[in-house]
Chain A
Amino acid sequence: METIFERPHALSDPQFSYCPGCTHGIIHRLVAETLDELGIEGTTVGIAPVGCSVLAYDFFACDMVQAAHGRAPAVATGLKRVMPDNVVFAYQGDGDLASIGMAETVHAATRGEKITVIFVNNAIYGMTGGQMAPTSLPNQVTQTSPYGRDVNTAGFPIRVCELLSTLDGVALAQRVSVDSPKNVRAAKKAIKKAFEYQIEGVGYTIIEVVSTCPTNWGLSPTDALQWLRDNMLPYYPLGVYKDVKAEGFANIAEAASAKAACLAEGGAR
Chain B
Amino acid sequence: MSDKVLMKGNEALAESAIRAGCRFFFGYPITPQTELAAYMAKRMPKENGTYLQAESEIAAINMVYGASAAGARAMTSSSSPGISLKAEGISYLAGADLPSVIINVQRGGPGLGGIQPSQSDYWQATRATGHGDFHVIVLAPSTVQEMADYVYDAFDLADKYRTPVMVLADGMLGQMMEPLVLPERKTSLPEKPWAATGHRHQRAHNVVNSLHLQPEDLEVTNIERFERYEVIKATEQRAETYLTEDADIVLVAFGACARIARSAVSKARAEGIKAGLIRPITLWPFPVDTIERCVDTARAFLTVEMNMGQMVDDVRLAVNGRKPVEFFGRAGGIIPTPLETLARVEALAEKVGAAAPENVGGAN
Interfacial residues, chain A to chain B (CB-CB below 8 A): 12, 41-45, 48, 54-55, 57-58, 60-68, 71, 73-83, 86-87, 103-104, 106-107
Nearest-neighbour CB distance to chain A for B42, whole angstroms, equals 18
* Bound: A42/B50 CA distance, A: 24
Q: Which residues of B contact A43 (CB under 8 A)?
A: 198, 200
Residue among A57, A58, A74 making CB contact with B62, cutoff 8 Å: A74
* Bound: A107/B26 CA distance, A: 14
Q: A43-B198, A76-B66, A78-B66 are in contact. List 9 more A-B contacts (CB 8 A).
A: A44-B198, A57-B207, A63-B197, A67-B65, A74-B60, A75-B62, A78-B65, A103-B56, A106-B55
A-B contact pairs, 26 of them (CB 8 A): A12-B205, A42-B202, A45-B70, A45-B197, A45-B198, A48-B209, A63-B199, A63-B207, A64-B207, A65-B65, A65-B66, A66-B208, A66-B210, A68-B62, A71-B89, A73-B59, A78-B62, A78-B64, A78-B67, A78-B70, A79-B69, A81-B52, A82-B50, A82-B67, A104-B58, A104-B59
Nearest-neighbour CB distance to chain B for A166, whole angstroms, equals 17
CB-CB nearest in chain A for B209 = A66
Interface centre among B72, B206, B207 (most CB of A within 10 A): B207
Are A79 and B67 within 8 A (Cβ)?
A: yes
Are B58 and A74 within 8 A (Cβ)?
A: yes
* Bound: A76/B92 CA distance, A: 15
Interface centre among B58, B63, B88, B89 (most CB of A within 10 A): B63
Q: Which residues of B contact A48 (CB under 8 A)?
A: 209
**Are A75 and B198 CB-contacts (below 8 A) given A65-B209, A104-B62?**
no
**Are A86 and B24 CB-contacts (below 8 A) given A66-B209, A107-B55?**
no
Are B211 and A78 within 8 A (Cβ)?
A: no
Are A86 and B198 within 8 A (Cβ)?
A: yes
Are A75 and B205 within 8 A (Cβ)?
A: no
CB-CB nearest in chain A for B91 = A68
CB-CB nearest in chain B for A12 = B205
Nearest-neighbour CB distance to chain B for A71, whole angstroms, equals 4
Q: Which residues of B contact A74 (CB under 8 A)?
A: 54, 58-60, 62-63, 65-66
Interface centre among A55, A57, A63, A68 (most CB of B within 10 A): A63
Are A57 and B209 within 8 A (Cβ)?
A: yes
Q: Which residues of A contact B72 (CB under 8 A)?
A: 82
**Are A54 and B70 CB-contacts (below 8 A) given A42-B200, A64-B196, A71-B89?**
no
Are A83 and B26 within 8 A (Cβ)?
A: no
Residue among A41, A76, A77 making CB contact with B52, cutoff 8 Å: A77
Q: Which residues of A contact B67 (CB under 8 A)?
A: 78-79, 81-82
Residue among B69, B89, B200 making CB contact with A68, cutoff 8 Å: B89
CB-CB nearest in chain A for B72 = A82
Q: Which residues of B contact A12 (CB under 8 A)?
A: 205
Indicate if B74 sits at the interface (CB-CB under 8 A): yes
**Are A79 and B66 CB-contacts (below 8 A) given A63-B199, A65-B209, A68-B92?**
yes
Are A62 and B89 within 8 A (Cβ)?
A: no
Nearest-neighbour CB distance to chain B for A198, whole angstroms, equals 14
Nearest-neighbour CB distance to chain A for B37, whole angstroms, equals 16
CB-CB nearest in chain B for A80 = B66
* Bound: A8/B233 CA distance, A: 48
Residue among B62, B69, B198 making CB contact with A62, cutoff 8 Å: B198
**Are A65 and B24 CB-contacts (below 8 A) given A77-B52, A83-B198?**
no
Interchain residue pairs A-B with the least CB separation, the first 10: A78-B66, A74-B62, A78-B67, A82-B70, A75-B66, A107-B55, A63-B196, A78-B63, A71-B62, A66-B209
Nearest-neighbour CB distance to chain A for B84, whole angstroms, equals 15
CB-CB nearest in chain A for B73 = A82
Q: Which residues of B contact A41 (CB under 8 A)?
A: 199, 201
Q: Which residues of A contact B237 (CB under 8 A)?
A: none
* Bound: A228/B62 CA distance, A: 34
Are A107 and B210 within 8 A (Cβ)?
A: no
Nearest-neighbour CB distance to chain A for B301, whole angstroms, equals 40
Residue among A63, A67, A79, A106 making CB contact with B205, cutoff 8 Å: A63
Q: Which residues of A contact B89 (CB under 8 A)?
A: 68, 71
CB-CB nearest in chain B for A86 = B198
Indicate if B16 sits at the interface (CB-CB under 8 A): no
